[in-house]
Amino acid sequence: MNEQVIRKFVIVKGIVQGVGFRPFVYNLAQHYDVQGEVNNTQQGVEIDVQGSLRGVTNLINQIKSNPPTLAQIEEIIINQLQSTNYQHFKIKDSTDDNEQLTFVTPDAALCSQCQEELLDGDDRRYRYPFINCTNCGPRFSIIESIPYDRESTTMSDFSMCEDCLSEYQDPTSRRFHAQPNACPDCGPQLLFLCKKPNGLALGSRTQLFT
């Protein structure tokens, strides 16, 4: 029995970039077995989704009722499209061909999961001051232009190490597409400068972390 296939084009406006919205939609698409793509544009987040009526409807309902923690949806525009031949669901690289501006996401305080890692002596980000994830960390402070992608932030100067990159590429990771993702091996460092009687001394990481 063939279930009816529908295709919708959804534009989500508001604070929707830098809050894990694309990975959130990607995971929903996997869960509801629908195809298409999600994209950051200067309008916000655009979702082209095709699949069973039930799958597409559930996905849109989840976006409305259960968006990522830091997202603030202002408006959702939904249009019906002719079905096409999508085989998978993918996250598209951001485009910047629209003229309307989206909201810039504010920085967010440390989330409880990152705090746990920060204080866990066995964690590779133990006491790493720039720890962050999709639910917390810098946004406004690092954004140089939108759409929000790592290349358009001050993090573009830092290449992710293997471990960070695998988190960034893993849809099940809390750091999937987390643009400021970093660790002590690959991210920014903090130096402690202290004024000693004989001048200015450069602190070491050991000093900083004690």
Would you say 96 or 185 has its CB closer to Zn ion? 185
Would you say 120 or 185 has its CB closer to Zn ion? 185
Does 178 bind Zn ion (CB under 5 A)? Our answer is no
Does 161 bind Zn ion (CB under 5 A)? Our answer is yes
Contact 166, 105 (CB under 8 A): no
Would you say 73 or 118 has its CB closer to Zn ion? 118
Helical axes 21-32 vs 53-65, angle rounded to 10°? 150
Does 164 bind Zn ion (CB under 5 A)? Our answer is yes
Does 186 bind Zn ion (CB under 5 A)? Our answer is yes
Q: Rg of the chain over CA atoms, in angstroms?
A: 20
* Site for Zn ion, residues 114 to 153, rule: CB under 5 A: 114, 133, 135-136
Q: How far, in Å, CA of 168 to CA of 187, rounded? A: 14
Q: How far, in Å, CA of 18 to CA of 177, rounded? A: 9
* 22 flagged as catalytic: yes
Does 70 bind Zn ion (CB under 5 A)? Our answer is no
* 132 flagged as catalytic: no
The stretch among 18-26, 56-64, 113-121, 188-196 that binds Zn ion (CB under 5 A) is 113-121
At its nearest, how many Å lie between Zn ion and the CB of residue 182? 6
The stretch among 39-47, 67-75, 140-148, 183-191 that binds Zn ion (CB under 5 A) is 183-191
Among 15, 56, 108, 111, binds Zn ion (CB under 5 A): 111
Would you say 99 or 157 has its CB closer to Zn ion? 157
**Other beta carbons within 10 Å of 67:** 21
Q: How far, in Å, CA of 98 to CA of 91, rounded? A: 18
Q: Which residue has the tokens 């790592």?
A: 150
Contact residues: Zn ion, CB under 5 A: 111, 114, 133, 135-136, 161, 164, 183, 185-186
Catalytic residue set = 22, 40
